[in-house]
Chains A and B, each alone.
Chain A
């Protein structure tokens, strides 16, 4: 059973397959039983579902076009479907906020996938083979961690998005992906090290399994859950990262609609018209929080020490 008070910052250790189990359940089954009773999980999951729906079918939420802007409606109050009013360009703030979810979630999802693939491969190789390869890869991870995130991201995103006519989606995905995999790699490595010492791995090796089969069939499935937790949290962080880069002018641009752009554009007018700044910020904060809470809840469920 877990609730918010039980959330600790302890690093997730690998699963312990030889732990005495309740009634025939797998680790995932145990976790699911835990999650089902967690309020935090349900709140976070509901938010995530709403945001994902918004990203996939924005027309479910609004019939207005976010790019249909009329200066005559500048800073006008709520009317009809535009429940959040209009911004300084006369665009519907609600429609812009709903449509903003798509690029934000898409970017974060792709960036997290890239980070996940790199992180899992590096962590698996370092943890499984050990020795000099581990030393080299681990030091490389240390170096990557040494790069200040914002500095590295600004330099990289600026270089990648030099084409003025692109909307910057690809550049931000690559930037966040390339800079974000380090934690996943570290967690993966420690999980692999603990998993590969297990008896069933030794048994498989004695039966003649090669390193490829051992790694991907036996070690990886038993070491992946902490990485999934890390990646869920990273998803939230990447949404915030996209907004940050867009705010700084090196992220999404052109006719892309995103929360970061909306915040950057309306920020200077906050003293006279706060709503166009507040709503994208609220959606951004809620989405980031939802992913981080979800990650936390899943971690608590998978972490046997918290049971």
Chain B
């Protein structure tokens, strides 16, 4: 048959290529392990540009490459780290940041005020499309950096924004700059602990306000570690210690961030001794994890908050008694014990009690399991006979949604089904179209450790993640007053009052607060994780 031989050649060639690829991926690790270095499992980060990082994996790597202005103590109060001092005027509007002298980037450049201004201006400039740019929106002049699309997503191109630099940022001298906010905000110091506020070196920019295209492949930071080589996508990111770093010096000499697609595979590597730290033990492995890992399985609180929202456009759930009855029909403790095997905690408040100022149990009787009372209330309020809970199937939510439905069925004697949609964005599209989705599964992790980081985005009428459309003017103004209060203590008082309003309205059912359930190998010790779900890279040490 003519033409047969070229195919054969091609097939053989493919086989050889596959074989070669198969050989190269396995053996590379052994040759370049630094002494005293450790490995930590992550997922593939979306970006390593600080102002574009909004997920834990990228944030975790950036925490090793950069040194933040502030870090947080055990009570989640901020203290300066790269900053010498952070002061503010009486109205909490103008903040003055003095930097510690003598710090350098890993390429040798000294860290100066301009590095912060450049980075923040880049992050806030709308056309750069940085995912974390909303962190800058409190800074005066942020609106001028955003382009307004004249036809709202139509074909016409948006005009250039009015300004390229934030009006609210001013350099005082080489080590001092001021930040002016649009309105006073007592918690601004905490906000500046986020990745988006890291400085960028001059070397990161190829022109004024133009970031090098491949900066994110090998970021240059002011932190205790620097990149060794570049980001090997879907494989690993290797960082090594910076010689004579001026800040807190970590105890390990290097970290290999191993990238995994699958938590189960990561767990197998941890047990097999090929990985030192797994930051999230999959639920399926939890039952066997204590025997696999013994004391090397640990739990610390995290900021994550799981809840279901009631779509406010749906009349079925309009009566607050229906929402309260559903809340009392759920046995949160049983759910966390049986489905999550204790890896999460029952939530009985709308703000994580780990955040400074927040109270545990603010939801009170409405979040207690009380099926008899729930049934009475539900029957009296004439609640719907069919309940749906919509969730996204890519996040492992099916098991607990099914369990929650079974609890509702048992307590209220109504029908309940879980409706799985492929992705969260499919679910949100249906909510935007005001379709009949029933209860909406949602989750939240704070951006900065302030009560406002829960109250603002989740429940204010213009909140970025208020998908269910809760709208209460009293609540809105309490949150706003709290943000503008002169001291953090006064803010917290007002925010607590705002939370009380939520208890009266029950716009969502609080379900669970997360925990970091992590495991580590015999090689490492002193492994701790913070509220943001990140390993403390300064504390971790080699065992023995």
The residue on A at minimum CB distance from B419 is A164
The residue on B at minimum CB distance from A74 is B338
Assess whether B331 is interfacial by the CB under 8 Å rule.
Answer: yes
The residue on A at minimum CB distance from B331 is A71
Report the stretch among A104-112, A173-181, A268-276 that lies at the interface. Answer: A268-276
Q: How far is the CB of A165 from chain B (nearest CB, A)?
A: 6
Distance of A90 Cα from B339 Cα, bound (Å): 10
Q: How far is the CB of A105 from chain B (nearest CB, A)?
A: 23
Report the stretch among B399-407, B448-456, B494-502 that lies at the interface. Answer: B399-407
Q: How far is the CB of A66 from chain B (nearest CB, A)?
A: 12
Assess whether A69 is interfacial by the CB under 8 Å rule.
Answer: yes
Against B, the Cβ 8 Å flags (1 = close, 0 = not) of A131-173 are 0000000000000000000000000000000001100000000
Q: Which of A203-250 contact B (CB under 8 A)?
A: 249
Against B, the Cβ 8 Å flags (1 = close, 0 = not) of A49-80 are 00000000000000000010111101000000
The residue on A at minimum CB distance from B334 is A71
Distance of A74 Cα from B338 Cα, bound (Å): 7
Distance of A71 Cα from B406 Cα, bound (Å): 8
Given A71-B335, A71-B407, A72-B334, answer yes or no on A89-B399 (Cβ-Cβ < 8 Å). yes
Q: Is the CB of A253 within 8 A of B406?
A: no
Distance of A282 Cα from B288 Cα, bound (Å): 25
Distance of A72 Cα from B406 Cα, bound (Å): 11
Q: Is the CB of A70 within 8 A of B406?
A: yes
Q: Find chain B residues with CB under 8 A from A71 CB.
A: 331, 334-335, 338-339, 403, 406-407
Distance of A255 Cα from B421 Cα, bound (Å): 14
Against A, the Cβ 8 Å flags (1 = close, 0 = not) of B285-326 are 001100000000000000000000000000000000000000
Determine which of A70, A74, A89, A255 lies in contact with B417 in the assembled complex, contact meaning CB atoms within 8 Å: A255
Determine which of B284, B287, B403, B417 lies in contact with A254 in the assembled complex, contact meaning CB atoms within 8 Å: B417
Q: Find chain B residues with CB under 8 A from A90 CB.
A: 338, 406
Q: Which of B380-429 contact A (CB under 8 A)?
A: 390, 393, 398-399, 402-403, 406-407, 409-410, 417-421, 426
**What interface size band does chain B fall in?**
20 to 34
Distance of A149 Cα from B331 Cα, bound (Å): 44
Distance of A165 Cα from B421 Cα, bound (Å): 9
Given A71-B403, A164-B419, answer yes or no on A269-B284 (Cβ-Cβ < 8 Å). yes
Given A74-B338, A272-B288, answer yes or no on A89-B406 (Cβ-Cβ < 8 Å). yes
Assess whether A99 is interfacial by the CB under 8 Å rule.
Answer: no
The residue on A at minimum CB distance from B393 is A249
**What interface size band does chain A fall in?**
20 to 34
The residue on B at minimum CB distance from A73 is B338
Distance of A164 Cα from B388 Cα, bound (Å): 12
Assess whether A88 is interfacial by the CB under 8 Å rule.
Answer: yes
Distance of A275 Cα from B402 Cα, bound (Å): 20
The residue on B at minimum CB distance from A255 is B417
Q: How far is the CB of B418 from chain A (nearest CB, A)?
A: 8
Count A-B pairs with CB separation below 8 Å: 50
Q: Is the CB of B287 within 8 A of A272?
A: yes
Q: How far is the CB of B38 from chain A (nearest CB, A)?
A: 28
Determine which of B284, B393, B403, B420 lies in contact with A89 in the assembled complex, contact meaning CB atoms within 8 Å: B403
Q: Find chain A residues with CB under 8 A from B409 CB.
A: 67
Distance of A182 Cα from B383 Cα, bound (Å): 52
Q: How far is the CB of A292 from chain B (nearest CB, A)?
A: 32
Q: Find chain A residues with CB under 8 A from B403 CB.
A: 69, 71, 89
Q: Is the CB of B287 within 8 A of A271?
A: yes
Q: How far is the CB of B263 from chain A (nearest CB, A)?
A: 11
Q: How far is the CB of A106 from chain B (nearest CB, A)?
A: 20
Q: Is the CB of A70 within 8 A of B410?
A: yes
Distance of A74 Cα from B340 Cα, bound (Å): 12
Determine which of A69, A70, A269 lies in contact with B287 in the assembled complex, contact meaning CB atoms within 8 Å: A269
Distance of A223 Cα from B410 Cα, bound (Å): 56
Q: Is the CB of B421 within 8 A of A164?
A: yes
Q: Find chain B residues with CB under 8 A from A70 CB.
A: 406, 410
Q: Find chain B residues with CB under 8 A from A249 CB.
A: 393
Distance of A261 Cα from B393 Cα, bound (Å): 14
Q: Find chain A residues with CB under 8 A from B390 CB.
A: 164
Q: Find chain A residues with CB under 8 A from B335 CB.
A: 71
The residue on A at minimum CB distance from B410 is A70
Distance of A168 Cα from B197 Cα, bound (Å): 48
Q: Find chain A residues with CB under 8 A from B282 CB.
A: 268
Q: How far is the CB of B531 from chain A (nearest CB, A)?
A: 28
Given A69-B406, A71-B338, answer yes or no on A268-B419 (Cβ-Cβ < 8 Å). no
Q: Is the CB of B406 within 8 A of A271?
A: no
Distance of A69 Cα from B402 Cα, bound (Å): 9
Distance of A164 Cα from B436 Cα, bound (Å): 12
The residue on B at minimum CB distance from A167 is B417
Q: Find chain A residues with CB under 8 A from B334 CB.
A: 71-72
Q: How far is the CB of A42 from chain B (nearest CB, A)?
A: 41
Distance of A284 Cα from B288 Cα, bound (Å): 28
Q: How far is the CB of A271 from chain B (nearest CB, A)?
A: 5
Q: Find chain A residues with CB under 8 A from B399 CB.
A: 88-89, 265
Distance of A172 Cα from B419 Cα, bound (Å): 18
User: By CB atoms of chain A within 10 A, which of B335, B399, B426 has the most?
Assistant: B399
Q: Is the CB of B402 within 8 A of A89?
A: yes
Q: How far is the CB of A85 from chain B (nearest CB, A)?
A: 15
Determine which of B283, B338, B420 lies in contact with A253 in the assembled complex, contact meaning CB atoms within 8 Å: B420
Q: How far is the CB of A111 from chain B (nearest CB, A)?
A: 23
The residue on B at minimum CB distance from A267 is B284
Q: How far is the CB of A150 from chain B (nearest CB, A)?
A: 19
Distance of A265 Cα from B407 Cα, bound (Å): 19
Q: Find chain B residues with CB under 8 A from A72 CB.
A: 334, 338
Against A, the Cβ 8 Å flags (1 = close, 0 = not) of B324-364 are 00000001001100110000000000000000000000000
Distance of A28 Cα from B364 Cα, bound (Å): 75
The residue on A at minimum CB distance from B335 is A71
Q: Is the CB of A254 within 8 A of B338?
A: no
Q: How far is the CB of A171 from chain B (nearest CB, A)?
A: 14
Distance of A69 Cα from B410 Cα, bound (Å): 8
Distance of A131 Cα from B282 Cα, bound (Å): 60
Distance of A165 Cα from B426 Cα, bound (Å): 13
Q: Find chain A residues with CB under 8 A from B284 CB.
A: 268-269
Q: Is the CB of A165 within 8 A of B287?
A: no
Q: Is the CB of A254 within 8 A of B406?
A: no
Q: How far is the CB of B338 from chain A (nearest CB, A)?
A: 5
Distance of A69 Cα from B399 Cα, bound (Å): 12
The residue on B at minimum CB distance from A72 is B334
Q: Find chain A residues with CB under 8 A from B410 CB.
A: 70
Q: Find chain A residues with CB under 8 A from B418 CB.
A: 254
Q: Find chain B residues with CB under 8 A from A67 CB.
A: 409
Distance of A293 Cα from B93 Cα, bound (Å): 81
Q: Find chain A residues with CB under 8 A from B398 CB.
A: 265
The residue on A at minimum CB distance from B391 is A164
Q: Find chain B residues with CB under 8 A from A74 CB.
A: 338
Q: Find chain A residues with CB under 8 A from B393 CB.
A: 249
* 14 new A-B contacts at CB < 8 Å, known A71-B403, A164-B420, A268-B284: A67-B409, A71-B334, A71-B407, A88-B338, A88-B399, A89-B402, A90-B338, A90-B406, A164-B419, A164-B421, A253-B420, A268-B282, A271-B287, A272-B287
Give 15 pairs: A residue, B residue, CB < 8 Å, sorted on A. Answer: A69-B403, A69-B406, A70-B406, A70-B410, A71-B334, A71-B335, A71-B338, A71-B403, A72-B334, A88-B338, A89-B406, A253-B420, A254-B418, A268-B282, A271-B288
Give 4 closest A-B pairs by Cβ, nearest first: A268-B284, A272-B287, A69-B406, A71-B338
